[in-house]
Amino acid sequence: MTATLINGNALSKIIRADVAARAAALAQQGCRPGLAVLLVGDDPASAVYVRNKIKACEEHGLHSSCDRYPADLSEAELLARIDALNRDPAIHGILVQLPLPAHINSHKVIEAIAAAKDVDGFHIANAGALLTGRPSFRPCTPYGVMMMLQAAKIPLSGASAVVIGRSNIVGKPMALLLLEAGATVTICHSKTRDLASYTRAADIVVAAAGQRNVLRADMVKPGATVIDVGMNRDETGKLCGDVDFESVKEVAGHITPVPGGVGPMTITMLLVNTLTAAEQAYAQRLPSHIA
Ligand SMILES: NC(=O)C1=CN([C@@H]2O[C@H](COP(=O)(O)OP(=O)(O)OC[C@H]3O[C@@H](n4cnc5c(N)ncnc54)[C@H](OP(=O)(O)O)[C@@H]3O)[C@@H](O)[C@H]2O)C=CC1
Ligand SMILES: Nc1nc(=O)c2c([nH]1)NC[C@@H]1CN(c3ccc(C(=O)N[C@@H](CCC(=O)O)C(=O)O)cc3)C=[N+]21
Ligand SMILES: [Mg+2]
């Protein structure tokens, strides 16, 4: 048996066409959606992701700005820049690329972003809204995974789901979104004893550990849906996920590839959140509609 591929590039194309149409309609009314990206330090992977985000904005009619700072930028300087962007009417979304250098408190930085411009969905107000079932900006990666599950018509209500990873940006919000959709959710992590005993019982496995081959064929129930969030490099330097793709695709019913799976969907949902932020600002006639 060979699993059906859930193609993040193909789904992104459909959703991004809708984003471009909505962006054009808003621009027609005098409000051009704008995203500001802040990158501190010179991590090469972060530079690639940020470049992809800026390029996606340009291609879909969103205005974007990217500030690159040296790794020794002070926390106070970063907070001052965020404060300026919070008050900038041309900017509807603010994204501070993570991870930040160790001398900067990332919680403090995220909380400094205006919740209405927090298109990553990382601010406590948005995280709390998700936890309590209120509308909010959903974190882009888990939101993108939900869109992939929906597009592939994977039943979620009553399904058994395992999330591998408990970070604030992927694992925890992923588990909450699956729970909201009616799945019975288990969160596994590095302290979990016998990971395979959980994954083998699951209808859906989302791997977000940042470890190659965390999920192998003998750990997957035949026909299960496998979503690979991981972004790793193999010994030859090639991009790979957390899932042993070649063997797992013979057991799973649906599977996402790396690259071309969750990664492009993350960027797509960032565009969606930024557009939504701009539409809300315009609808409320906040000063930020003057762009
Ligand atoms: N495709 C995309 O768009 C995105 C991809 N990523 C990628 O997803 C991965 C996860 O990202 P992120 O959540 O930020 O990473 P973190 O390092 O913050 O979290 C990793 C989580 O995985 C758990 N973990 C690590 N090793 C194992 C293991 N062997 N078995 C079980 N659990 C394990 C850790 O457990 P513990 O808490 O106990 O340490 C932790 O909870 C990375 O590869 C990252 O690059 C991230 C964001 C977006
Ligand atoms: N504030 C913040 N928000 C984030 O959303 C955020 C972040 N910080 N820090 C890092 C992670 C990681 N992340 C990715 C986005 C796109 C791809 C992506 O486009 N992947 C391509 C391949 C990219 C390549 O060629 O290297 C793919 O999978 O096909 C990957 C990873 C967002 N993150
Ligand atoms: Mg994101």
The answer on pLDDT for 155 being more than 50 is yes
Measured from the Cβ of residue 69, the count of other Cβ atoms closer than 10 Å reads: 16
**Residue that the structure tokens 């020794």 belong to:** 72
Tens of pLDDT, residue by residue over 118-134, are 999 999 999 999 999 99
CA distance 82 to 207: 32
Q: Is the peptide bond before 259 cis (omega within 30 degrees of 0)?
A: yes
Give me 156's structure tokens.
Answer: 């979620």
Mean residue pLDDT of the chain comes to 96
* Residue 288, pLDDT score: 54
CB of 259 closer than 6 A to ligand 2? yes
* Residue 287, pLDDT score: 58
CB of 206 closer than 6 A to ligand 2? no
The answer on pLDDT for 8 being more than 70 is yes
Question: Is-contact 79 112, C-beta < 8 A?
Answer: yes
Ligand 2 centre from 240 Cα, in Å? 13
CB of 97 closer than 6 A to ligand 2? yes
Active site includes 97? yes
Report if pTM > 0.95: yes
Q: Which domains does the chain have, with CATH numbers?
A: 30-115 (3.40.50.10860), 140-263 (3.40.50.720)
CA distance 30 to 124: 31
Question: Is-contact 173 187, C-beta < 8 A?
Answer: no
CA distance 185 to 202: 9
With residue 274 as reference, give the H or E element that holds it.
Answer: helix 262-283
Distances from the Cα of 112 to the Cα of 53, 100, 161, 162, 163, angstroms? 22, 14, 34, 33, 29
Instruction: Please report which confidence band the pLDDT of residue 285 belongs to, taking 50, 70 and 90 as the band edges.
Output: confident
Hey, which residues does 227 pair with through a beta bridge?
206
Please tell me which residue in 18, 28, 29, 53 is annotated as part of the active site: 53
Tell me whether residue 184 is exposed, middle or buried, using C-beta atoms within 10 angstroms of its C-beta: 0 to 12, 13 to 18, 19 or more. Answer: middle
Bigger pLDDT: 77 vs 135: 77
- Number of residues assigned to the chain: 291
Ligand 2 centre from 263 Cα, in Å? 5
Q: Which residues are annotated as a binding site for NADP(+)?
A: 165-167
The answer on pLDDT for 291 being more than 50 is no
Strands 239-240 vs 232-233: parallel, antiparallel or unpaired? antiparallel
Question: Is-contact 121 140, C-beta < 8 A?
Answer: yes
